[in-house]
């Protein structure tokens, strides 16, 4: 095969699908043909991403193939790596699959290195260039002087630098005598460069030095050719010298298997004398007839503990967004959430600030929270939050977990300092790290590979990731790993350091809801109302009851059960929101598992009797009452002097205060006034629930192209498009476009809803469809399409009439018809 593109062209469809699965960035967008695919695969960005996916052993195999001399005997590669032939062959197979090597895959012929790979690995195996390359920039006179010092006589018969370099390579092929002659200090300098990187910085590296005049260790090495000067400040250790210093080995220790995971044994059950972790299933024990707990499963302790954390995270997100829906924090000028607002959120939820930042960022990633505008905006829930509230607990957790898993934001950065020593605010662009989703998923996959019952240590996770993805190692990744472990515990993906089964399903792209639902309590519609004016909710409440209790009572404590307390203020709040005393009593009676205590009914009746006795309007404001005596008592009260009241009529008082201020002032006297509309109706004074729509172009969860694996149907469509484009390039435009002729006649028409349903059905069946499509100018055309995906207002599929993968806007599709349905044609 003459070229890399020819080799790709000769691969079968299965091999091409494997390549595109391993390197999904190659089909974003789909190249025109296989020559374009080969060019894209050789770009520095694509090569770098492919190398980042290699484990330490496979990367070492690739580096060995670059370094080892050709021809390469079959046993040379396993011997250089200290591996078995089977292990080396498996690694070479992975390199072929990623198209990082190419050519004939036979034991007798070593694979060729793919274009662009050598440039991406300037120092393979930590080695510098060989002698012939590293000294190629030396002038002939300098090479002659160097060889004369090493050989004992000035070289003769060498007409060009090529022969001089060959002679120098021969002299340095066994450098031990030269190293001994240079002295122990010079050997120590060589040892510093032996295992890489093979370059060092010195002053005036190109100064002429001879063995007789060299004084420093570096000069002695330069004079003997054991170091080469690449420029005025850089010296490089030649490859042959480094391999000699390594004792002939290419790598210190390269195992073909990942390091073992270590940790502690997680408890299988609660120990005696120790408090058991929060278990919503057990905490949701409810009175007979409530229906709660019907789906409970005993399960293991780790899963039950994780489910409890998942349920707690759901409740905290709901509590936070409910508060921000009525009292939203402002968006900082620089973007993000102010430190004081984050601290207030942590106080509200009774958690640490980093946990509050995590919940806010997770809500933002899931599309439940956004900013209301670019200038002077506020952080508000989105309409999607109201839809989220309508789902069951498992569905709500799934949306949160998926958002956290895919977002490129790192909540752990919130509260830290950036490079300019400025505070990094939560919900700001400063917390964006492109490597966050990949590191998050890789960390969880390490936990998924642990033995059952093993809580893996953070150090073991970092060590395993350093083997799986050695090129991505660094301080940031270590921090991301630590943050992932603690965030996964808070969000309920792990219990006692173990990845639980429903989280494994989420990680694998499956539906985690059935697995989680078995460990979550059923919503209850009964509370235990007690004589001390408290109500105990023994589990999560149904949405209607939860909202009514939040309106008419104060939350006193949370945990396995939630305790609400009724107060005159909370009862008045419910009445202000439009409830009547009778409606409130009937609601509590209907949902109470015990008879309603008399103290509570007395309090509701008392507050209801006084509620609305006074009415406040706007003149600036006025007070109206059917009882002139009540107004007389207000005027006689010394405390009302600041209200600036005067009588307009026996039943009306006027004030210069605004209506809201006058309401608060009268309530401070122990009265219960209500706001009155101009027509005499009562104004419901419950704070409005605010919502903000994300900008049309906003991406709630941003995923960089190439970071998400393409599905099998998209890859299959891309392979077909590449083959068709290749045929077109080979045989000419008209004949070889491989276009299918659209059926004759007018493009099909069908109702919009039926169109979408039939396209989704075609995706499941894998059938071809005839569609009518309007272009941007409104012209109608017929297309033959193999649908792959219908989502986000678009149909993605292989367009046989254009021999390419295309995205069609659903609103421009006039109709669809089956190709084999003659009646529809």
Residue 64 pLDDT: 94
Residue 617 has pLDDT above 90, yes or no: no
Average pLDDT value for residue range 22-39: 88
User: Could you read off the pLDDT of 377-386 as tens digits, one per residue?
Assistant: 899 999 889 8
Percent of the chain with pLDDT over 90: 46
Per DSSP (E only), the strands in 545-669 are 554-557, 562-565, 615-617, 621-624, 645-649, 652-655
Q: Give every CB contact of residue 779 below 8 A, 6+ residues apart in sequence.
A: none
Tabulate helix, strand, coil % of the chain (nearest 5): 45, 15, 40
Q: Are residues 502 and 389 in the same domain?
A: yes
Pairing of strands 615-617, 674-675: parallel
Residue 329 has pLDDT above 90, yes or no: yes
Residue 710 has pLDDT above 80, yes or no: no
User: Could you read off the pLDDT of 566-579 as tens digits, one per residue?
Assistant: 999 889 888 888 88
Q: Are residues 384 and 454 in the same domain?
A: yes
Residue 375 has pLDDT above 70, yes or no: no
Alpha-carbon distance of 478 to 605, in angstroms, equals 61
**CATH number of 786's domain:** 2.30.30
Residue 291 pLDDT: 37
Q: Which domain holds residue 355?
A: 299-517
Residue 126 has pLDDT above 70, yes or no: yes
Q: Are residues 360 and 482 in the same domain?
A: yes
Residues in a beta bridge with 623: 616, 653
Alpha-carbon distance of 281 to 539, in angstroms, equals 9
Alpha-carbon distance of 730 to 8, in angstroms, equals 15
Comparing 543-547, 655-659, 666-670, the range with the smallest average pLDDT is 543-547
Q: Are residues 385 and 461 in the same domain?
A: yes
Spatial contact of 81 and 60, defined as CB atoms under 8 Å apart? yes
Comparing 17-26, 128-137, 145-154, 404-413, the range with the smallest average pLDDT is 145-154
Residue 159 has pLDDT above 50, yes or no: yes
Token pair, residue 795, equals: 């149909």
For residue 129, how many C-alpha atoms fall within 13 Å in the half-sphere facing its CB? Answer: 15
Comparing 92-106, 288-302, 350-364, 675-689, the range with the smallest average pLDDT is 288-302
Residue 417 phi/psi, 5-degree rounding, is -120, 145
Comparing 9-18, 153-162, 512-521, the range with the smallest average pLDDT is 153-162
- Alpha helices, DSSP H only, in 121-251? 131-134, 140-151, 161-172, 176-182, 184-194, 217-223, 239-245
For residue 72, how many C-alpha atoms fall within 13 Å in the half-sphere facing its CB? Answer: 18
Residue 283 pLDDT: 36
Which of 463, 493, 517 lies at the terminal end of a domain, its last residue? 517
Q: Are residues 447 and 485 in the same domain?
A: yes
Average pLDDT value for residue range 253-276: 73
Q: Are residues 668 and 778 in the same domain?
A: no
Comparing 122-136, 415-429, 650-664, 808-822, the range with the smallest average pLDDT is 808-822
> Which whole-number Å values give the CA distances from 696 to 381, 692, 693, 699, 764, in the listed order?
16, 12, 8, 9, 30
User: Could you read off the pLDDT of 756-812 as tens digits, one per residue?
Assistant: 888 888 877 777 788 888 877 778 888 888 887 777 677 888 777 776 777 788 888
CA angle 763, 768, 773 (to 5 degrees): 95
How many DSSP H helices and E strands does the chain contain?
35, 25
Residue 100 has pLDDT above 80, yes or no: yes
Spatial contact of 14 and 41, defined as CB atoms under 8 Å apart? no
* DSSP secondary structure of 461-501: HHHHHHHH-GGG-SHHHHHHHHHHHHHHHHHTSEETTEE-H
Report the chain's mean pLDDT, rounded to a whole number. Answer: 84
Residue 58 CB coordination number (10 Å): 21
Which of 610, 639, 656 lies at the terminal end of a domain, its last residue? 610
Domain annotation covers residue 552: yes
Alpha-carbon distance of 611 to 674, in angstroms, equals 7
Q: Are residues 394 and 496 in the same domain?
A: yes
Helix (H, G, I), strand (E, B) or coil at 264: strand
pTM of the entire predicted model:
0.75
Which of 587, 610, 633 lies at the terminal end of a domain, its last residue? 610
Domain annotation covers residue 116: no
Comparing 286-290, 336-340, 361-365, 641-645, the range with the smallest average pLDDT is 286-290
Closest to 825 (Cα-Cα) out of 765, 784, 774, 786: 784
Residue 672 has pLDDT above 60, yes or no: yes
> Which whole-number Å values give the CA distances from 162 to 135, 136, 168, 172, 263, in the listed order?
10, 8, 10, 15, 58
Domain annotation covers residue 78: no
Alpha-carbon distance of 245 to 237, in angstroms, equals 11
Spatial contact of 512 and 503, defined as CB atoms under 8 Å apart? yes
Domain annotation covers residue 403: yes
Domain annotation covers residue 292: no
Q: Are residues 744 and 812 in the same domain?
A: yes
Token pair, residue 419, equals: 């490079």
Q: Are residues 535 and 504 in the same domain?
A: no
Average pLDDT value for residue range 384-398: 89
Residue 705 pLDDT: 40
Residue 295 has pLDDT above 60, yes or no: no
Domain annotation covers residue 98: no
Spatial contact of 114 and 4, defined as CB atoms under 8 Å apart? yes
Report the domain count for the chain. 5
Comparing 294-303, 330-339, 579-588, 659-668, the range with the smallest average pLDDT is 294-303
pLDDT band of residue 483 (cuts 50, 70, 90) is very high
Residue 825 pLDDT: 35
Domain annotation covers residue 250: no
CA angle 561, 563, 569 (to 5 degrees): 160
**More confident of the two residues 752 and 169:** 169
For residue 465, how many C-alpha atoms fall within 13 Å in the half-sphere facing its CB? Answer: 28
Average pLDDT value for residue range 404-420: 93
Token pair, residue 252, equals: 């210190």
Spatial contact of 115 and 42, defined as CB atoms under 8 Å apart? yes
Residue 99 pLDDT: 95
Token pair, residue 191, equals: 């040892």
Token pair, residue 551, equals: 């309106």
Q: Are residues 600 and 628 in the same domain?
A: no
CA dihedral 673, 679, 685, 686 (to 10 degrees): 140
Q: Are residues 630 and 601 in the same domain?
A: no
Spatial contact of 356 and 345, defined as CB atoms under 8 Å apart? yes
Q: Are residues 511 and 543 in the same domain?
A: no
User: Could you read off the pLDDT of 526-558 as tens digits, one per residue?
Assistant: 999 999 999 998 877 887 788 788 888 988 887
Residue 261 has pLDDT above 90, yes or no: yes
Highest averaged pLDDT of the listed ranges 167-181, 274-288, 706-720, 781-795: 167-181
pLDDT band of residue 108 (cuts 50, 70, 90) is low
User: In the block, which residue shows the tokens 């045929």?
Assistant: 727
Comparing 59-63, 510-514, 677-681, the range with the smallest average pLDDT is 677-681
Residue 661 pLDDT: 84
Average pLDDT value for residue range 332-361: 94
Domain annotation covers residue 688: no
Residue 174 CB coordination number (10 Å): 10
**More confident of the two residues 760 and 691:** 760
């Amino acid at each position: 095969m003459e070229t890399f593109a020819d080799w790709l062209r000769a691969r079968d469809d299965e091999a091409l699908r494997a390549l595109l699965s391993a390197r999904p960035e190659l089909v974003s967008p789909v190249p025109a043909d296989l020559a374009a695919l080969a060019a894209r695969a050789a770009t520095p960005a694509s090569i770098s991403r492919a190398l980042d996916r290699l484990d330490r052993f496979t990367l070492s195999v690739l580096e060995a193939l670059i370094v080892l001399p050709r021809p390469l005997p079959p046993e040379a590669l396993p011997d250089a790596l200290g591996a078995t032939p089977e292990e080396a062959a498996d690694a070479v197979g992975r390199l072929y699959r990623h198209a990082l090597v190419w050519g004939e895959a036979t034991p007798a012929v070593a694979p060729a290195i793919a274009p662009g790979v050598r440039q991406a690995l300037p120092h393979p195996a930590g080695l510098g260039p060989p002698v012939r390359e590293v000294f190629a920039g030396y002038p002939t006179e300098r090479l002659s002087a160097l060889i004369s010092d090493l050989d004992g006589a000035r070289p003769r018969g060498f007409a060009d630098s090529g022969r001089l370099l060959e002679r120098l390579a021969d002299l340095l092929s066994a450098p031990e005598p030269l190293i001994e002659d240079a002295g122990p200090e010079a050997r120590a300098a060589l040892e510093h460069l032996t295992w890489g990187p093979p370059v060092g910085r010195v002053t005036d590296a190109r100064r002429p030095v001879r063995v007789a005049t060299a004084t420093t260790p570096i000069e002695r090495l330069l004079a003997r050719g054991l170091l080469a000067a690449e420029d005025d400040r850089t010296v490089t250790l030649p490859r042959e010298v480094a391999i000699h210093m390594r004792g002939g080995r290419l790598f210190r220790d390269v195992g073909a298997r990942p390091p073992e995971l270590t940790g502690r044994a997680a408890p299988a059950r609660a120990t005696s004398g120790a408090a058991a972790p929060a278990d919503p299933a057990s905490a949701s024990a409810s009175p007979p007839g409530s229906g709660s707990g019907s789906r409970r499963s005993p399960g293991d302790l780790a899963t039950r503990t994780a489910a409890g954390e998942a349920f707690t995270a759901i409740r905290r997100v709901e509590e936070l967004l409910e508060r921000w829906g009525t009292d939203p924090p402002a968006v900082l000028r620089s973007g993000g959430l102010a430190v004081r607002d984050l601290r207030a959120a942590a106080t509200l939820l009774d958690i640490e600030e980093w946990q509050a930042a995590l919940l806010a960022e997770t809500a933002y990633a899931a599309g439940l929270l956004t900013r209301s505008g670019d200038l002077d905006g506020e952080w508000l829930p989105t309409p999607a939050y109201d839809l989220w509230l309508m789902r069951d607990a498992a569905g709500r957790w799934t949306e949160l977990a998926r958002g956290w898993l895919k977002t490129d934001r790192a909540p752990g950065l919130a509260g830290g300092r950036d490079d300019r020593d400025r505070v990094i605010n939560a919900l700001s662009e400063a917390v964006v790290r492109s490597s966050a989703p990949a590191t998050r998923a890789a960390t969880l996959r390490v936990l998924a590979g642990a033995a059952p019952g093993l809580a893996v240590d953070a150090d073991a996770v970092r060590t395993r990731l350093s083997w799986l993805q050695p090129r991505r190692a660094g301080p940031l990744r270590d921090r991301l790993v630590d943050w992932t472990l603690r965030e996964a515990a808070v969000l309920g993906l792990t219990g006692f350091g173990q990845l639980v089964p429903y989280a494994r399903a989420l990680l694998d792209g499956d539906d985690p809801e059935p697995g989680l639902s078995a460990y979550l309590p059923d919503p209850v519609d009964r509370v235990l109302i007690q004589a001390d004016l408290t109500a105990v909710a023994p589990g999560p409440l149904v949405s209607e009851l939860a909202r009514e209790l939040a309106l008419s009572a104060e939350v006193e404590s949370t945990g396995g059960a939630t305790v609400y307390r009724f107060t005159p203020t909370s009862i008045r709040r419910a009445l202000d929101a439009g409830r009547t005393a009778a409606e409130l009593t009937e609601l509590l009676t209907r949902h109470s598992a015990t008879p309603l205590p008399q103290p509570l009914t007395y309090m509701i009746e008392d507050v209801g009797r006084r509620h609305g006795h006074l009415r406040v309007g706007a003149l600036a404001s006025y007070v109206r009452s059917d009882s002139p005596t009540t107004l007389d008592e207000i005027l006689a009260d010394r405390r009302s002097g600041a209200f600036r009241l005067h009588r307009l009529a026996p039943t009306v008082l006027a004030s210069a205060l605004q209506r809201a201020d006058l309401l608060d002032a009268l309530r401070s006297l122990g009265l219960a006034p209500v706001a009155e509309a101009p027509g005499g109706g009562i104004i419901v004074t419950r704070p409005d629930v605010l919502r903000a729509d994300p900008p049309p172009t906003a991406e709630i969860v941003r995923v960089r192209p190439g970071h998400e694996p393409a599905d099998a149907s998209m890859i299959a469509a891309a392979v077909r498009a590449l083959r068709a484009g290749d045929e077109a390039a080979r045989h000419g435009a008209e004949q070889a476009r491989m276009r299918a002729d659209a059926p004759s006649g007018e493009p099909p028409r069908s109702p919009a809803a039926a169109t979408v349903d039939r396209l989704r059905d075609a995706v499941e069946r894998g059938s071809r469809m005839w569609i009518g499509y309007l272009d941007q100018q409104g012209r109608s055309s017929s297309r033959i399409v193999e649908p792959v995906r219908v989502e986000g207002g678009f149909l993605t599929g292989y367009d046989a009439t254009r021999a390419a993968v295309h995205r069609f806007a659903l609103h421009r599709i006039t109709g669809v018809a089956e190709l084999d349905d003659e009646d529809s044609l």
